[in-house]
Amino acid sequence: MSVATNPRRYVISFIFIGVAVIMLLRLFFLQNFEPKYKILANDIAIYKKVVYPPRGVIRDRKGRTLLSNTPIYDLMITPRNVPKNFDTAEFCAALDIDKATYERILGKVLIRNIDVRQSPFIELLNEEQTARYQENAYKFPGFELVERNIRVYEKPIAGLMLGYIGEVSPEMLKKPRYQSYRQGDYTGLSGLELQYEEALRGQRGVHFLERDKFNRPRDPYKGGALDTLEVSGKQLDLYLDMELQEYAEKLMANKIGSVVAIDPRTGGILTMVSSPTFDPNLLRGKERARNYANLHKEATRPLFNRATQAMYPPGSTIKPFTGLVALNVGAITPDYGYGCRGSYGACSRSIACEHKDAGHAANFGLALAHSCNAYFCHLFRLTVDYRNFGSVKKGLQAWHDYYKSFAYGRQTGIDIPFEGKGLVPDSNLYNKMYRGSWNSCTIVFVGMGQGELLLTPLQMANGMCIIANKGYYYTPHFVKAIGKNENDTALRKYHEKHVVLNIPDETFEVVQQAMQDVVDHGTAAAAKIDGVTVCAKTGTAENKAIVNGEVIKMQNHSMFVAFAPRENPKIAIAVAIENAGFGATWAAPIASLIMEKYLKDSVTYKRKAVEDKMMNAKLINKYVYTIDSVIRLRDLRTYNARVARKRAADSTKKANDSILYHRWINYKMRTNNLKATNKRK
């Protein structure tokens, strides 16, 4: 027990220091060389809150809302926070689901995500579920209602044009356009919603929040320095007139067909109807897939946008253009007459004309007013055989170039996706069809809008803009302004004036006068509007269907094109009604009513009867359903045959593989045996 220094003092100091050094080493490696703890710390404590901005609102030409948003709730679950003694029965009752469903969803959630993460339990609760859940929400820890917006179509109109949104699919995510999207994000899937996705979507915001161990978000992480702010989707202002659209859809009820009305001054689409229509509110939320399937099954194919995708023979409505080209190439003068006696017989077969009286085609104006088939067939032949071109092939090429400049036979470039091209035949097509031996007589039907020529209603309406504007058009489009900016770069291409092959104004005057005559004294008397000079052309397009290998001639399509007023064109319109008969009977009055509604804001009282007749007419033929089922059956058979072929090919391949395998085995066995015998020797 001496006061002198005891060596054991140093042993104890050494133990103290030794333990401290071990701790320091451990801390050094733990804190500097084990990055997983940093990742884990961020994982558990930082909550990345994705904020979806409201999608852009779509409004009509008068600022009325067509498409907007409304809040709806997703029920989110954080499995770890759900207590062991959770009252499943009450929970299920509040949501109106059964216990099995609960277990199934919970299982799915746990497989997809770890149990401390919040993930969706039920998406897009309906109103009833939301209300009942909210009453009892306090009883269900671990669950949370998260608000999100859903699209609302103010009126059940223009569904195909406005389009709809849905979750982005895994295939889409692979495309560069969707690289900023994540699974579960919503995107436009058709119509304007798809076309203007980037503008409407806005920019997703990401907020980093710290959360505590109960998963409750608390302070912004690092004071919000890493956050990105959300940017609201831009508003779209359309040229579309909500009232007019509704009116047109009413007129087109129970008919198969379409209406396209364009303002020739801007190319803005005033109305676009593809009938039969459907309520676009069906295509949102949870019910979308089911409703979509139901709509898809319907024989009348309401999901098919007939206005931009359906291709019809234009029938007589093409005659102003046949005339326009003939006049412009110099094949005829406006005074040119043809002695039609009820048929055109120059081409070794007789083409019937509605009129037999002498002089109904005494000049261009009269011929158009009476829609003389013989006259225009002849005009077409005169054009393509015109001596200046040298040959029918060159003549047809010149004619083809004219039509291409009218945006026929190609996409107009309208701002909704999946537009049809139509078909304008050229020499190549006929060379293929007739193995090179054809002449103007072979293709004469094209002059009266039959034969190989096919147009979409949009192209027909755009053609009317060209005549109304005397030689130019703007690409038809819906959107006037993006985010109230009319000069947005996305809209620049719609401000570009497209001038068709140089045709002088006088030629257009002649055609316009002739089209005015059509209304004043000709076939389109039904299209007259008091106090407005209407220029129009009726059409009755023959068409055929192939059913079970037989070509069946079907009832004619009722076609009509027009623009008004002639002096200062404000609206150009095309109406096509499938298998309805004469153009003058159905398409003309409907077009006229729409024009009157647009030009005068209302339809005069005396046309009420016509209006009622049009609205109530049911023009869908029974055979539409028959043909549809035949077509679907054929498609199914083709599909089954393809699948069967593929399966057969696969199994053959497999069989071949196994033959190879057996051969290899045999070979191996033989060589081994050989070796064995060699060894034995």
Partner 1 sequence: MSDLKKTLFNRIDTPLLLMYLALVTVGILAIFSVEHRTTDTSLIMMNKSYMKQIIWLGYSLFIGFIIILTDSKFFSSFAFLLYTVCIIILIITIFAGVDVKGSRSWLGIGGFRFQPGEVAKIFTAMALAKFFSLNETNFKKLRDRLIAAAIALAPAVFILLQKETGLALVYMCFFLVMYREGLPSVILVLGFAAIALVLTSLLINRITLAILLTVFTILIGLLIRHTLKRRIAARVILISAWGFSLLFSQVAVPFVFKHVLQKHQIERIYSMIGIDVPDEYNKAIAPGEEKKEKTNSSEYNVLQSKIAIGSGGMFGKGFLNGTSTKNQFVPEQNTDFIFCAIGEQFGFLGSAGLIILYISMMLRILYLGERQRSDFTRVYAYCVASILFFHFAVNISMTIGLAPVIGITLPFISYGGSSLLAFSILIFILIRLDADRQVLIR
Task: Provide the binding-site residues for partner 1, judged by CB under 8 A.
Answer: 1, 3, 5-6, 8-9, 11-13, 15-17, 19-20, 22-24, 26-28, 30-32, 34, 36-38, 40-42, 44-46, 210-213, 218-219, 221-222
Name the residue nearer to partner 1 (CB basis): 30 or 51: 30
Name the residue nearer to partner 1 (CB basis): 87 or 212: 212
Name the residue nearer to partner 1 (CB basis): 6 or 391: 6
Name the residue nearer to partner 1 (CB basis): 32 or 602: 32
> Three-state SS for 179?
coil
- Kindly state the smallest distance separating residue 194's Cβ from partner 1, in Å: 41
- Kindly state the smallest distance separating residue 16's Cβ from partner 1, in Å: 5
Q: What angle do CA 379, 367, 522 make, to 5 degrees?
A: 145
- Kindly state the smallest distance separating residue 84's Cβ from partner 1, in Å: 8
Terminal C-alpha separation, the chain: 93
Q: Using an 8 Å Cβ cutoff, are 92 and 86 in contact? A: no
Name the residue nearer to partner 1 (CB basis): 37 or 434: 37
| Residues near 181 by beta carbon (within 8 Å), at least 6 away in sequence | 168, 172, 173, 187
Q: What is the DSSP string of 449-463?
A: T-TT-BB-HHHHHHH
**Closest residue by Cα to residue 98 from 213, 106, 216:** 106
- Kindly state the smallest distance separating residue 208's Cβ from partner 1, in Å: 10
Name the residue nearer to partner 1 (CB basis): 5 or 502: 5
Name the residue nearer to partner 1 (CB basis): 6 or 350: 6
State how far the Cα of 312 lies from the Cα of 557, in Å rounded to an integer.
8
Helix axes 427-434, 392-405, angle to 10 degrees: 130
Q: Which helix (H) or strand (E) holds 159?
A: helix 159-162
- Kindly state the smallest distance separating residue 218's Cβ from partner 1, in Å: 7
- Kindly state the smallest distance separating residue 214's Cβ from partner 1, in Å: 8
Name the residue nearer to partner 1 (CB basis): 47 or 445: 47
Name the residue nearer to partner 1 (CB basis): 26 or 484: 26
Tokens standing for 92?
A: 């299920």
- Kindly state the smallest distance separating residue 22's Cβ from partner 1, in Å: 7
Name the residue nearer to partner 1 (CB basis): 17 or 676: 17
- Kindly state the smallest distance separating residue 212's Cβ from partner 1, in Å: 4
Name the residue nearer to partner 1 (CB basis): 19 or 231: 19
Name the residue nearer to partner 1 (CB basis): 43 or 96: 43
Q: Which residues on neighbouring strands pair with residue 472, listed in sequence order?
A: 499
Name the residue nearer to partner 1 (CB basis): 1 or 293: 1
- Kindly state the smallest distance separating residue 1's Cβ from partner 1, in Å: 6
- Kindly state the smallest distance separating residue 28's Cβ from partner 1, in Å: 6
- Kindly state the smallest distance separating residue 80's Cβ from partner 1, in Å: 11
Alpha helices in 478-529 (DSSP H): 505-520
- Kindly state the smallest distance separating residue 13's Cβ from partner 1, in Å: 6
Name the residue nearer to partner 1 (CB basis): 40 or 649: 40
State how far the Cα of 134 lies from the Cα of 132, in Å rounded to an integer.
6
Q: What angle do CA 558, 564, 191 make, to 5 degrees?
A: 65
Q: What is the DSSP string of 585-605?
A: TTHHHHHHHHHHHHHHSS--G
Name the residue nearer to partner 1 (CB basis): 141 or 339: 141
- Kindly state the smallest distance separating residue 646's Cβ from partner 1, in Å: 46
**Closest residue by Cα to residue 55 from 71, 73, 65, 68:** 68
Quote the distance between the C-alpha of residue 666 and its chain's center: 59
Q: Which helix (H) or strand (E) holds 292?
A: helix 288-297
Q: Which residues on neighbouring strands pair with residue 543, listed in sequence order?
A: 554
State how far the Cα of 2 lies from the Cα of 259, in Å rounded to an integer.
115
State how far the Cα of 271 lies from the Cα of 351, in Å rounded to an integer.
36
Pairing between β-strand 165-167 and β-strand 46-51 as defined by DSSP bridges? unpaired
State how far the Cα of 420 lies from the Cα of 622, in Å rounded to an integer.
26
The three state secondary structure string of 224-278 is HCCCECCECCCCEEECCCHHHHHHHHHHCCCCCEEEEEEECCCCEEEEEEEECCC
Q: Is 133 left (phi over 0), alpha (psi -120 to 50) or beta?
A: alpha
- Kindly state the smallest distance separating residue 35's Cβ from partner 1, in Å: 8
Classify residue 12 by burial, with Cβ atoms within 10 Å: 0-12, 13-18, 19+.
exposed
Q: Using an 8 Å Cβ cutoff, are 267 and 476 in contact? A: yes
The residue to which tokens 């947005």 are assigned: 488
